[in-house]
């Protein structure tokens, strides 16, 4: 059976798509439609360093035929922010999975400031950070020939229906959008046929939610209980970081985006990858 390892943060962990008291998300929807064995290794709050250190060794141990590496939002929202370190963690993770023979799914992430509806002094520095994250992802995707979904450039990514009440995690519709987008990319590249995932036991995930969206009252209750608890937990690191970004924006103005020039250096060799057996 085809093995699918999903690495990432709370999005791949399924947050925003609650089914029978548990989080589901795009990876189980995708795996169920294709009839593949899923190992979902994603954890809430994960950053690129966590993927390389904690999730990658587990992924390599299951010898995946297909792997997803969706990461970057927490790196963008939290301090310290270092796009070069992010690029290194991302490249080593993708290189290891490709070296193990897996087809790898990667992503260009949408702008969180645009989804949050933040004021310009907060939205602009977040957009610059995301631009650096996405540039690193683009370079890694090109170097290692990944299946790269441009969520940042797809207008459907910014449809309000695609997002849960917190506007940080996809809704069920948003998770299904991710699953369908990766299915279509894999199909166009001939990967599904190459992996033997074309036939009566597999098919495109349904883009339509299986459950109605939560009513306004339920959304308000969630924000007043679980949502407010999440905000309080994240306020200890996220809020100060955002305030520092706004202060720097006000004092120094906006740096030019055209100075971004990430250099990944030479491709990672198999013997340089942690946990990789030559």
Question: pLDDT truncated to tens, each residue of the chain (278 aa)?
Answer: 999 999 999 999 999 898 988 999 999 999 999 999 999 999 999 999 999 999 999 999 999 999 999 999 999 888 788 999 999 999 999 999 999 999 999 999 998 777 766 666 667 888 889 999 999 999 999 999 999 999 999 999 989 899 887 667 899 999 999 999 999 999 999 999 999 998 777 899 999 998 766 555 554 444 444 444 554 455 455 556 666 666 666 665 554 333 344 556 556 554 454 443 33
Tell me the backbone φ, ψ of residue 275, rounded to 5 degrees: 80, -5
Distance, C-alpha 78 to centroid of its chain: 15
Question: Could you tell me which residues come within 8 angstroms of residue 77 by beta carbon, excluding any fewer than 6 positions away?
Answer: 112, 126, 238, 241, 242
Token pair, residue 257, equals 């985006």
Round to whole Å and give the CA distance between 22 and 51: 23
Burial readout 68-103 (b: 16 or more C-beta within 10 A, e: otherwise): bbbbbbbbbbbeebebeebbbbbbbbbbbbbbbebb
Do 35 and 197 form a contact (C-beta atoms < 8 A)? yes
Structure tokens at 56: 């990658």
Helix, strand, coil percent values for the chain (each to nearest 5): 50, 10, 35
* Confidence at residue 51, expressed as pLDDT on a 0 to 100 scale: 97
Q: How many CA atoms lie within 13 A of 60 on its CB side?
A: 23
């Amino acid at each position: 059976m085809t093995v699918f390892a999903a690495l990432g943060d709370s999005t791949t962990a399924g947050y925003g798509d609650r089914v029978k008291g548990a989080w589901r998300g795009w990876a189980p929807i995708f795996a169920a439609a294709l009839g593949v064995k899923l190992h979902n290794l994603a954890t809430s709050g994960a950053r690129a360093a966590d993927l390389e250190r904690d999730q990658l060794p587990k992924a390599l141990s299951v010898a995946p035929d297909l792997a997803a590496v969706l990461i970057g939002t927490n790196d963008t929202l939290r301090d310290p922010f270092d796009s070069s370190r992010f690029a290194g963690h991302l490249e080593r993770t993708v290189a290891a999975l490709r070296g193990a023979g897996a087809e790898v799914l990667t992503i260009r992430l949408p702008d969180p400031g645009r989804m949050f509806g933040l004021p310009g002094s907060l939205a602009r520095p977040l957009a610059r950070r995301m631009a650096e994250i996405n540039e690193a992802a683009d370079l890694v995707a090109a170097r290692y020939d990944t299946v790269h979904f441009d969520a940042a450039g797809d207008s459907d990514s910014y449809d309000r229906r695609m997002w849960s009440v917190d506007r940080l995690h996809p809704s069920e519709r948003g998770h299904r959008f991710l699953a369908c987008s990766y299915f279509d990319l894999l199909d166009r590249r001939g990967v599904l046929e190459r992996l033997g995932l074309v036939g009566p036991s597999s098919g495109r995930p349904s883009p339509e939610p299986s459950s109605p969206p939560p009513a306004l009252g339920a959304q308000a209750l969630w924000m007043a209980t679980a949502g407010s608890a999440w905000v309080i937990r994240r306020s200890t690191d996220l809020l100060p970081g955002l305030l520092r970004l706004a202060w720097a924006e006000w004092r120094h103005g906006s740096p030019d985006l055209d100075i971004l020039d990430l250099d990944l250096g030479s491709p990672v060799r198999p013997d340089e990858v942690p946990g990789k057996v030559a």
